[in-house]
Structure 1
Amino acid sequence: MQSTLSRCVTEELQYRQDFLFIPVLVGAGAALWFSLASPPSDVVLLVSGLCIIPIAIITRHRQNALSFVLATLALLLLGMLLANWETRRVGTTVLDSAVTTTIIGKVERREVDAKGYWRYTIALTSTSGPSLTRLPNRISVLSRSREQPIAVGAGITGKARLSPPSGPALPGLNDFAFSAYFDGIGATGFFYSAPKALPTQAETTDEAGWLEAAGSGLYALRSAIAERIRSVIGGDAGAFAASIITDERRAISSETMEALRVSGLAHIVAISGLNMALASGIFFVGMRMVFSLFPGFSQRYPVKKIAAFAALLMTFAYYLISGFAVSAERAWLMMSIMLAAVLVNRPSISLRNVALAAIVIIAVSPHEIMGPSFQMSFAATLALVAAYSFWSRWRGNRERLFIARPPLWMVASSKASAVIGGVVITSLIGGVSTAIYSIEHFHRITTYGLAANLAAMPVMSIIVMPSALIAMLLMPFGLDAPFLKLMGYGMAMVIDIANTVSSWGGDATIGRQHSWFLGVSTIGFLLLTLLRTHLALLGLPLILAGLVLVPLEQNRAKPDLLIYEDGVLVAFRTDQFVVTTKRQAKGFVFDQWARAVPLPDTHVAPVMVDDDKAGEREDTASPTPRRPAVLTDQQKQEARDKMILAFERTNGFSCQKNVWCAGRHESGVKVAVISNTALTGTACDLADIVVTSRFVPFSNCRSGALLISATTLRKTGSLELWLNEAGAPVAAARAAMQDVARPWSIHRAYDWRSKTSDGAMPSHIETMLAARP
């Protein structure tokens, strides 16, 4: 046993498989730094790095336990240092609270959605009415006007409603403020009316520098290409076609996107290894075919390397117009390394190339490792390359068994399996390898993804990508329309395949996973794919252990009360149905709840009591929220009487629009959701739990009821509560925000009135959160 283990370790080191774990450990260090509520201080990190990293470099050739431990610690520290440095380098100023103001800035990007609305990414220069003291550098604002869009690089102004990027919809879900922080987006919102263009000042480009000017030019070119494709092809097929070239996805209708997700074809929308490999491969093969028409030239010059260099330039051009998404960045790096390997006569497809691409991305943008795009794209690539390497070794060993030429039947079967089996195996490996991350991030898994990919991949390979490549080459000459049309036909076929497969069902909702699921499963997956000896089998028990956690987590008690961080959307959950304060069970937040908890399919809408004029002035769901109306004593008494009646209804909400909602859970706990601060005291007297979307001057109810105000929700984020009984309503609770001290969440502790930060929670909230489910 000892000799076998030693032999395997020696073989792994002989083939330098240890190099493949460099991005793994650096990435793990970055992920650890981002996950900690309170990471080590800069001084501790820097001193630790200066002490350990040099020693690890000196002892790197000593193959003993000490050098292994030092190398591991050094790489983990390096990842943490890179994450710390990136966070400080980005330094995004995030808006602390929602505000209506007039903005002035410059359009950096723009993208149209399926409704014809334009979303602008704006470099903010100033605001007025009011003027913000903490001005975000960059904002993302939606214009619902269908007027002529404002050009990239032009000035823009208009009255807008701005809000901080939202946090997780529930504990453990995606934190949009995290990704917005590293994208430089400090606020999101919408224009009240069509924005107006401002003349661009001549000195702007000089001050910004050539890099910003080049970036604006690239985004303007990207937008123009996307508009050209959409205008020629039209419909969802045109929007789909534009997405695989420029990565502009918003124009695809929600119905088509859902069909692509359910069928397992959503990966086509992103510019990933598939798109980049097809484009580069077709261009590379096409160049070699052209050279073959000139035998004299082909015999005199290294045409394979010339074609590889030309494909390298084409791949870089593709990346420039792709919007710089992490999937496109990873695909470009991979293809560039593969093509560069051809130039220097090295193997083009290898795990080392994947590791090099991962090292570059982690070094430049460590935060990407936390997102599903990085994890899923690298998981698929790693699994495919590892499978190819294993198959190459197996084929080499098999062919060595034959001294003479292999029999004809073996040659024929090998060619047939390469054509037919290649597509099947590739789709199967890609789907299985990304299943872990689909479950973790999207809480769903597609069961018919293999069938959809088998039908769609030939269309993408034979019709779509060749047509797209030729169209892009001919677009500067205005000769692209016929090939764009052909590309559109292929895109329409893929959409039909997605609609057909999605109609079969097969989209299984899994729910949130155990906190150990992702880590344990990923370690097992990495061992299985990165090691070449029998040691790789050590990954199988870890993957199985991760899968065992799935049913265990599903059998845990589900929360009874869900509260979104805006204090408006609140839901009771039972095993048979879900009751919300919204009339319709739809929307981005509710969809996340439905998949993560998961929620029952049956939705019970609130009973709307007769509305009066008191609530018409305040509509927190409308695009123009206003201050609460002032209620008379009579109106307060009427609201009190209606709430008393509402509490007599079990497992249901009764609501007066934009004023209050009230309901009683089957446990007897009474919950009031208040939108008018004048009724907060009344709700405290009647309910066990009071949720208000407004700021109130007190932290808890004098009656002893639990008060969850806007101030509280800013610090906790969304909440999920396990209810007990009236009098002691909360048995356990969890908050989406564990700490607001990190740079992407510290704006939640800032008070613009006093211009101070206070992240401390009220004592009763800390007590509530201390009771773990």
Structure 2
Amino acid sequence: MAEGKVEERGEAAEAHGWRTAAEASALPAVSGHRAPPRRAPFAAVLRVAGQLRSDATGRHALAAAFAEERAHGHFFLFVPVFMGAGAALWFAAAADPSPLAMILVALAALLPAWRLRHREGWPALAAGAAFLVPVGMLLAALESARLDTIILDAPVTTEIGGRVLSRESDARGAIRYRIALETTQGPVLKRAPGVVTVLARSTHDPIAIGSGITGRARLGPPSGPSLAGLNDFAFDAYFAGTGAVGYFYRAPTAMAGTETGLEGRVRREIATWRNSLTEHIRGRIGGDAGAIAAALVTAEQRAISAETVEALRQAGLTHVLAISGLNMVLAAGTFLVGARGLMALIPGFAERYPTKKIAAAGALVMVTLYILVSGGAISAVRSWIMICVMLVAVMFGRSAISLRNVAISAILILIVTPSAVTNPGFQMSYAATLGLVAGYAAWRERPVRRESRGGRFQLLGGSAGRFFGGLLLSSLIGSLSTLIYSVGHFHRIPAYGLAGNLLAMPVISAIVMPFGLMAVLLMPFGLDAIPFVIMGKGIDWMIAMSNWVASWKGEIVIGRIPPLAFLLIGVGGGLLCILRTRLRHAGTLLVVLGIGIACWPDGRPHPEVLVSEDGRLVAVLDGARVATNRARPPGFVYDQWRRALRLGELVKPDMRKTAGLTLEDAGEKPAGAPEGKRPRRKADRQKARDALTAALDAAGKGPGFVCETKAFCAAVSPSGWRIVTLEDTAFLGTACDGADLVVVPFALRLDACRSGARLVTARHLRRTGALEIRPAAAAAAVASLPEAEFTSSVETLDRPWSRHRTYDWRTGSFDNGQAVSDNDG
């Protein structure tokens, strides 16, 4: 009993920043209220290094540090870290690791981990890691096997029929349907995906969620990485359950839908509720303000214009659009304050009933409804779990904000969806939360100083100073915590993001979210018009501030960084937030080492040629300039190239049109061609050869591509490689004879040019993904193409999200992928 009271007093003292008697007796005596001297982190690192010079002193210091970390319960915080590391290792493997081996390793490590669970020191931590890492790998394997998403193997045009699961519309009226695919015709797909996402651009009445839908559509597999090391959208689609993406040729039509089970009906009702709420909010608030207001409530962002999204990104405010901790905290906090205020107005109610606990229970119901209509993104689920833990703690009179709550939410997410560990939103969300909670703890435990009197401005200056100071500090901590993830995943950082947050966040916190919550609560009574108008004005202010900050042109493009640097900085930052003793400065060392690796040149030559996954976009890099074979390169691919490689000026192709390059253009009909049938196009070899020679000569003198309209484009790389991209296979022979590299965006049965030129077709790119071509490291000033280094964006074909690339629809099996066609029938 006495021991329990002592532990309780110790916990209370820690929660309020007090020191226990043992800790106080260990402190040197100081006079007055002067705070103890503070030392810089690097000074602490040097001090620890000096102590480690003596083995005995070093062992004693490490043992004491581990004991203190264990006493504060920080070893528990490493449980999600080790589980996440195991899941990440499973996803990064070149082939599926053996489940039996993972089970045996976990069982072998279970007994040591259990016996050392109460011990202090690194052996206990290592035993826990040896058990939790294979557990995380097993969870990742179970999730992959449970989903078993079928991804379409090749582009195909077919008549589809299915049931609408959800829909989203953009500002131009186009509707993106998520469809549970049930039938395909003309051709019938042998390996049809279960769920597809199809865009309908034609004007039509929206088809209700849950209803049947049919139409002629062009479907294709989700794209892989645009370059090696970039985001793999096929991976994301696999774990989202999406097997194909595409578009309708004409407006789809509604048909009778099949009845689903209880879970399907619940999902349909939630999706219908979410869609109706989105359309209602957009109807109340027009333009981009209405689209952003809907995104804050239901997370549907497609209606926001690209210009506004880019302005928010450059101002560092895109986190506002995600249903994350900020939105959840503001919504729950507004509800708590409002509910307690309303209950306080009832005479005698606050004296008889626990208003704080009642308000917390109401907020718990409110945030649960919020997560249902928000789409269930990882950041939203993480925030919902954390808010629920905090509200339950409030209901039971316990401390609400702690790193333990963060760890509990991470463990729950990793148990259900371990693939979230690879998601940028998950990583940035937890990095920001760790930084803010650790920063709050450090601020709470800071030495207390006597505040000077502020005279007549004491109330205004003190309140305003604390508000804006807290806003500045939280924005700074959040920006620094997520900086490495912005660089690692998006290869850029908003230089003026801090200014954008300081200008917009007060309005978002005081006007946008409170009045948005008020409007949603008043919506059933038809009294939501005025709150939505006020919310819209606040969003207009946010957009205006974003455009102003974006006009400063402060985006900094970093480019790709080595994966090792990303890992070291991320782990080091996590250790700085999790640990509280001198051990945390190991994180400082890791961060410094990671920054050094990121800044150190890798020594490899810069790539000279880039080829997109579909073969339709080819770029030649020459110093700060980049030339493409398309006057308007697709932004989805080119923007990723630009940021990852820090590309400079875009040089557009020189378009020409020489008459008579094909016999059909010259009006001649090949001998033996049947009547009434369009003959296959054939090139006039001599004219085509002359045109290609002239194009290569002109490209050798200039920086860009020289193109013959609807025929071919030619360029010369800095190493002298002659590159030809084809728009018409009639010129394949001519291109092979005159080029070193020929890129064809069609699936051909031909593997190589007879002339020895390197041939890259859609069949090759299907297995390799996008290509980077760079001279060999030890090459001379002018290197030959056979000596060049070809880097594929798809590193393995043996994982579930990339195995579809080896499927042969003719044999119905996974093989070497020799027979590939633009037809899945």
TM-score (norm 1): 0.92
The equivalent of 1:183 in structure 2 is: 240
Q: Are 1:675 and 1:694, in contact at CA under 8 Å, matched by a contact in 2?
A: no
Deviation readout 1:242-290 (Å, 9 max, x if unpaired): 1111000011000000001111111111111111100100000111111
CA-CA distance at 1:334 after TM superposition: 1.1
Structure 1 residues 22, 643: closer, same or farther in 2, change over 3 A?
A: same
Within a 5 Å distance, the mapping from 1:644-723 to structure 2 comes to: 644-648=693-697, 649-650=699-700, 651-723=703-775
Farther off after superposition, 538-547 or 726-735: 726-735
Q: Are 2:190 and 2:812, in contact at CA under 8 Å, matched by a contact in 1?
A: no
Farther off after superposition, 565-574 or 707-716: 707-716
Where 1:698 maps in the other structure, the secondary structure is coil
Which of 134, 139, 142 aligns to 2:199? It is 142
The equivalent of 2:257 in structure 1 is: 200
Which of 155, 158, 168 aligns to 1:111? It is 168
Q: Are 2:66 and 2:121, in contact at CA under 8 Å, matched by a contact in 1?
A: no
Provide the C-alpha distance between the structure 2 equivalents of 1:615 and 1:110, rounded to a whole number of angstroms. 48
Which of 22, 28, 34 aligns to 2:91? It is 34
Q: Are 2:196 and 2:244, in contact at CA under 8 Å, matched by a contact in 1?
A: yes
Provide the C-alpha distance between the structure 1 equivalents of 2:659 and 2:238, rounded to a whole number of angstroms. 41
The equivalent of 1:641 in structure 2 is: 690
CA-CA distance at 1:700 after TM superposition: 1.8
Structure 1 residues 525, 641: closer, same or farther in 2, change over 3 A?
A: same
Within a 5 Å distance, the mapping from 1:364-403 to structure 2 comes to: 364-394=416-446, 397-398=447-448
Which of 231, 248, 255 aligns to 2:307? It is 255
Identity %: 45
Which of 497, 504, 522 aligns to 2:552? It is 504
Provide the C-alpha distance between the structure 2 equivalents of 1:629 and 1:665, rounded to a whole number of angstroms. 38
Provide the C-alpha distance between the structure 2 equivalents of 1:322 and 1:751, rounded to a whole number of angstroms. 39
CA-CA distance at 1:590 after TM superposition: 0.4
Provide the C-alpha distance between the structure 1 equivalents of 2:659 and 2:109, rounded to a whole number of angstroms. 68
Deviation readout 1:541-564 (Å, 9 max, x if unpaired): 221222223332488532100000
Does 2:536 match 1:488? yes
CA-CA distance at 1:302 after TM superposition: 1.3
Structure 1 residues 20, 611: closer, same or farther in 2, change over 3 A?
A: farther
Structure 2 segments unaligned to the other structure (5+ residues):
1-50, 52-57, 666-676, 820-825
Where 1:124 maps in the other structure, the secondary structure is strand
- Read off the aligned partner of 1:255 and give its amino acid letter: E
Larger Rg: 2
Deviation readout 1:323-375 (Å, 9 max, x if unpaired): 10111111111111110111121110111111111111111111111011001
Within a 5 Å distance, the mapping from 1:352-371 to structure 2 comes to: 352-371=404-423
Q: Are 2:664 and 2:682, in contact at CA under 8 Å, matched by a contact in 1?
A: no
Provide the C-alpha distance between the structure 2 equivalents of 1:751 and 1:32, rounded to a whole number of angstroms. 30
The equivalent of 2:488 in structure 1 is: 440
The equivalent of 2:11 in structure 1 is: none
Q: Are 1:37 and 1:742, in contact at CA under 8 Å, matched by a contact in 2?
A: yes
Does 2:303 match 1:238? no
CA-CA distance at 1:49 after TM superposition: 2.3
Where 1:647 maps in the other structure, the secondary structure is helix
Deviation readout 1:700-729 (Å, 9 max, x if unpaired): 222211111212111110000014646445
Within a 5 Å distance, the mapping from 1:118-137 to structure 2 comes to: 118-137=175-194
Q: Are 1:652 and 1:665, in contact at CA under 8 Å, matched by a contact in 2?
A: no
Q: Are 1:561 and 1:721, in contact at CA under 8 Å, matched by a contact in 2?
A: yes
Q: Are 2:654 and 2:704, in contact at CA under 8 Å, matched by a contact in 1?
A: yes
Deviation readout 1:1-27 (Å, 9 max, x if unpaired): 323332222111101101111111100
- Read off the aligned partner of 2:691 and give its amino acid letter: K
Farther off after superposition, 184-193 or 48-57: 48-57
Where do 4+ consecutive residues of structure 1 move more than 6 Å? 410-414, 611-617
Q: Are 1:688 and 1:726, in contact at CA under 8 Å, matched by a contact in 2?
A: no
Provide the C-alpha distance between the structure 1 equivalents of 2:602 and 2:630, rounded to a whole number of angstroms. 26
Farther off after superposition, 638-647 or 431-440: 638-647
Structure 1 residues 376, 633: closer, same or farther in 2, change over 3 A?
A: closer
Provide the C-alpha distance between the structure 1 equivalents of 2:524 and 2:816, rounded to a whole number of angstroms. 55
Deviation readout 1:424-470 (Å, 9 max, x if unpaired): 10111111111110000000011111111001011101110111001
The equivalent of 2:596 in structure 1 is: 548
CA-CA distance at 1:54 after TM superposition: 4.6
Over the residues paired in the alignment, what is the CA RMSD in angstroms?
Answer: 2.3
Where 2:398 maps in the other structure, the secondary structure is coil
Structure 1 residues 637, 525: closer, same or farther in 2, change over 3 A?
A: same
Provide the C-alpha distance between the structure 1 equivalents of 2:817 and 2:285, rounded to a whole number of angstroms. 55
Provide the C-alpha distance between the structure 1 equivalents of 2:146 and 2:92, rounded to a whole number of angstroms. 18
Provide the C-alpha distance between the structure 1 equivalents of 2:610 and 2:62, rounded to a whole number of angstroms. 51
Structure 1 residues 416, 746: closer, same or farther in 2, change over 3 A?
A: same
The equivalent of 1:426 in structure 2 is: 474
Provide the C-alpha distance between the structure 1 equivalents of 2:551 and 2:333, rounded to a whole number of angstroms. 33
Does 2:608 match 1:560? yes
The equivalent of 1:589 in structure 2 is: 637
Q: Are 2:683 and 2:731, in contact at CA under 8 Å, matched by a contact in 1?
A: no
Within a 5 Å distance, the mapping from 1:263-342 to structure 2 comes to: 263-342=315-394
Farther off after superposition, 259-268 or 646-655: 646-655
Does 2:572 match 1:515? no
The equivalent of 2:72 in structure 1 is: 15
Where 1:324 maps in the other structure, the secondary structure is coil
Where 1:516 maps in the other structure, the secondary structure is helix
The equivalent of 1:734 in structure 2 is: 791
Provide the C-alpha distance between the structure 1 equivalents of 2:555 and 2:296, rounded to a whole number of angstroms. 24
Structure 1 segments unaligned to the other structure (5+ residues):
618-627, 763-773
Provide the C-alpha distance between the structure 2 equivalents of 1:303 and 1:633, rounded to a whole number of angstroms. 83
Provide the C-alpha distance between the structure 2 equivalents of 1:388 and 1:636, rounded to a whole number of angstroms. 74
- Read off the aligned partner of 1:707 and give its amino acid letter: L
Deviation readout 1:490-526 (Å, 9 max, x if unpaired): 1111000100000001100000111212110011101
The equivalent of 2:158 in structure 1 is: 101
Structure 1 residues 613, 473: closer, same or farther in 2, change over 3 A?
A: farther
Provide the C-alpha distance between the structure 1 equivalents of 2:664 and 2:115, rounded to a whole number of angstroms. 72
Where 2:483 maps in the other structure, the secondary structure is helix
- Read off the aligned partner of 1:471 and give its amino acid letter: A
Where 2:331 maps in the other structure, the secondary structure is helix
Structure 1 residues 571, 612: closer, same or farther in 2, change over 3 A?
A: farther
Which of 127, 135, 140 aligns to 1:83? It is 140
Provide the C-alpha distance between the structure 1 equivalents of 2:747 and 2:810, rounded to a whole number of angstroms. 12
The equivalent of 2:35 in structure 1 is: none
CA-CA distance at 1:487 after TM superposition: 0.8
The equivalent of 2:572 in structure 1 is: 524
Provide the C-alpha distance between the structure 2 equivalents of 1:243 and 1:78, rounded to a whole number of angstroms. 36
CA-CA distance at 1:585 after TM superposition: 4.3
Q: Are 2:681 and 2:730, in contact at CA under 8 Å, matched by a contact in 1?
A: no
Provide the C-alpha distance between the structure 1 equivalents of 2:91 and 2:660, rounded to a whole number of angstroms. 49
Structure 1 residues 218, 685: closer, same or farther in 2, change over 3 A?
A: same
Does 2:111 match 1:62? no
Where 1:437 maps in the other structure, the secondary structure is helix
